[in-house]
Structures are given as structure tokens and as C-alpha cells.
Structure 1
Amino acid sequence: MWDVGLAQMFKERENKINIGPCVGKIVGVKPLKVSILDGQVILQEGHLYICQSLAKREYKLELNADGDIGDIAITSKPSNPLISFNISEKEKTKLTLYFELKQGDEVLIIPAENQQVFFIVDKIQKSS
């Protein structure tokens, strides 16, 4: 049986395949689950890090109308109400955008060197 032992030693010595940057698909939101490698691997929340800019982005916002500050109104779909807010202090005004991952979204996944944790960098879409 020395030949089986020798073959096993060669197999153990083979370089393991490293996962590089890849496309992941959101398959669960609460808790977060991401499928990679055509569904062969499901990454759980404990193995995932999300880039802060994907979750929340803040911008300093300044609205000028002939040197004055004023109102901003945002109209969205007919089913959603009109959103309006007043800017009264330029220095304290900021706009915060929150993003959400939805089931079916595709994301760019980059593994850490040890391939035990993975970083969700951004939502992506295939170009048309």
C-alpha cells in the first residue's frame, strides 16, 4: 500500500486553488448570504465585510439661490409622497444616502489572503 500513501502525499503537496475577485449574488438579506462560484459556496454574514461606502455615503450639501439658502423638494414615484426639507444652516447641512442590498443583486467580492473572510466592495451589473 506504499503507492496509495505516496499518491496521497503528492495530492496534499499540490497547490490549493485560490479564489480571486469574483461576482457574488445576494441570496439572503437578513441574515446576509452571498453565493459565489455558481452557487458552489454560500458565504454567511460572519465571513463578510461590507465597504462603508456601499452601506452609507455622506455628502456636504449646499444650496445656493442668489446667495441665499432655501428649500429642496424631491418628487418620486406617484405612489411615494413629495419629500421636502429646508436648509437653514449651510455649515451643518449634510446629505446622507443609505443603500440596501436586495436578494438577486450582484456584488463584487474580494477574498482576504487566507480566504476565510470576504469583502463586498460594491454592487455591480453586467454591461449591455
Structure 2
Amino acid sequence: MWDVGLASMFKERDNKGKTGPCIGLVMNVTPLKISILNGEVTLQGEHLYMADNLILKQGDEVFIIPTESEQTFFITNKAKKVGG
């Protein structure tokens, strides 16, 4: 049955879920670094696009939308939790 276990491990490795729209935390402004997925991933400036008029500061929460390839991410706006 070792082969079933091995196949299961390959399947789990190869079927990582896609990252959908999420909330990111601005860790640093210059250079820009944003943490997503509870700190598992840090996005840096070369992978990010944002509106020209968006002003960020450390500690801000922002909306992040990945491209299909998950190599480029769009910062669309600041986020604010409602009610708690």
C-alpha cells in the first residue's frame, strides 16, 4: 500500500489551491512589502500594481487581487473591517 500513500502525497503537492482575492497587510512602504495568507506569503514591489492615488502606510490592510498566474497582484484599495 506504500504506492497509494506516495500517490496521495503527489496529488496533495500538485493540487495547491489558487489564491483568490484577499486582504493583505502592509509590512513596509519603502520598499513595498505586503503580507498575505496569514503571513505565509510576502509580496514585494516588483509583483504589485496599485492605483497612482493610493497612499499606503505600514499597518494598513488592503484588498489584493491576483492574476491567473499568481505572479502579479493588484492592490485595489484600503480595507477596513466592519463591525468587529
Structure 1 unmatched runs, 5+: 57-98
Cα RMSD between the aligned structures? 2.3
In the alignment, structure 2 segments of 5+ residues that lack a partner are: none
Structure 2 partner of 1:48: 48
Q: Deviations over 1:10-50 (max 9, x none)?
A: 52785330000000000010000000001110001111010
Q: What does residue 107 of structure 1 align with? A: 62
- 2:11 maps to a residue whose letter is K
What's the % identity of the aligned pairs? 58
Q: Paired residue for 2:25? A: 25
Q: How does 1:1-128 map to 2 (within 5 A)?
A: 3=3, 7=7, 10-11=10-11, 14-51=14-51, 55-56=52-53, 99-128=54-83
Give, in angstroms, the shift of residue 8 of structure 1. 6.7
Give, in whole Å, the separation in 2 of the partners of 1:17 and 1:124. Answer: 24
- Give 3-state SS (helix, strand or coil) of 1:11's partner: helix
Aligned length: 81
C-alpha separation between the residues in 2 aligned to 1:28 and 1:40? 16
Larger radius of gyration: 1
Give me the TM-score of the superposition, normalised by structure 2: 0.82
What is the alpha-carbon distance in structure 1 between the residues aligned to residue 49 and residue 8 of structure 2?
36
Secondary structure of residue in 1 paired with 2:74: strand
Q: Distance in 2 between matches of 1:114 and 1:121?
A: 18
